[in-house]
A and B are shown apart, each in its own frame.
Chain A
Amino acid sequence: DGGITQSPKYLFRKEGQNVTLSCEQNLNHDAMYWYRQDPGQGLRLIYYSQIVNDFQKGDIAEGYSVSREKKESFPLTVTSAQKNPTAFYLCASSHRDGRLAGRQETQYFGPGTRLLVL
């Protein structure tokens, strides 16, 4: 089955600790995204990557880091610099900007990881 997986489903972080959220896709998508969701605030883009070994900051990148060493994987690290990390984190992937007329970049989402601070 093709899809996007995120692990773990729940993650607990201690004060001053870095934690890494996993995101894997087998849809052969070039682009991958990380969003943060807080109650009443919708989705906010943290980082995105259009191609392997390249990524760009989104709207709220401070306190986060990513890597894109493989097409299938886009892990997100929540660093100790992120002072309010409690949130629901969603990973998504899509085809890259299409060269074919009419092709569009629908984003497909994983099931999410809920990060809680101890």
Chain B
Amino acid sequence: GEDVEQSLFLSVREGDSSVINCTYTDSSSTYLYWYKQEPGAGLQLLTYIFSNMDMKQDQRLTVLLNKKDKHLSLRIADTQTGDSAIYFCAESIGAGNNRKLIWGLGTSLAVNP
């Protein structure tokens, strides 16, 4: 079935790079997303990647997609305390009225000073 998996926790030191990993099962996914959620808040779109790309860079964020292994990663360079949050990976599958997002459970990133 459709499934997206992420590790639940990651702890890094301020200034280091963070790498959050995600695996998915549906090979027909069209877009893959990374969202950030701060405590008590809604989800904020960080970035997305189309399934025919293997890398996307946006300032401190780098997304890598390995379609063969169905593996997606989000790298945050120079991680700051403000990056502490839960990061959700999601894949878009289906088409038209049947299009939906399949969500991971989220990775809680703790940034230590």
Contact = CB atoms under 8 A, between A and B. Distances in A.
Q: Do A and B bind each other?
A: yes
Interface string B28-42: 001101010000111
Given A106-B48, A112-B42, A40 B105 contact: yes
B109 to A, nearest CB: 16
A110 interface: yes
A90 interface: yes
Given A6-B42, A104-B30, A112-B40, 9 more contacts: A42-B88, A42-B105, A42-B106, A43-B88, A90-B43, A97-B95, A97-B99, A104-B48, A105-B31
Interface of B: 30-31, 33, 35, 40-45, 48, 50, 88, 92, 95-97, 99-101, 103-106
A34 to B, nearest CB: 12
Given A90-B42, A104-B48, A45 B96 contact: no
A81 B92 CA distance: 31
Nearest to B41: A111
From A90, A92, A107, A111, residue with most partner B Cβ within 10 Å: A107
10 contacts: A6-B42, A41-B105, A43-B103, A45-B100, A97-B96, A97-B99, A104-B48, A106-B33, A106-B45, A107-B101
The CB with the most chain A CB atoms within 10 A, among B33, B40, B42, is that of B42
Interface residues of A, number: 24
A45 B99 CA distance: 12
A105 B99 contact: yes
Nearest to B105: A42
B35 to A, nearest CB: 8
B88 A97 contact: no
B40 A105 contact: no
Contacts of B105: 40-42
User: 4 tightest CB-CB pairs across the interface, nearest first?
Assistant: A109-B42, A42-B105, A109-B43, A43-B103
Nearest to A107: B101
A32 B95 CA distance: 16
B9 to A, nearest CB: 12
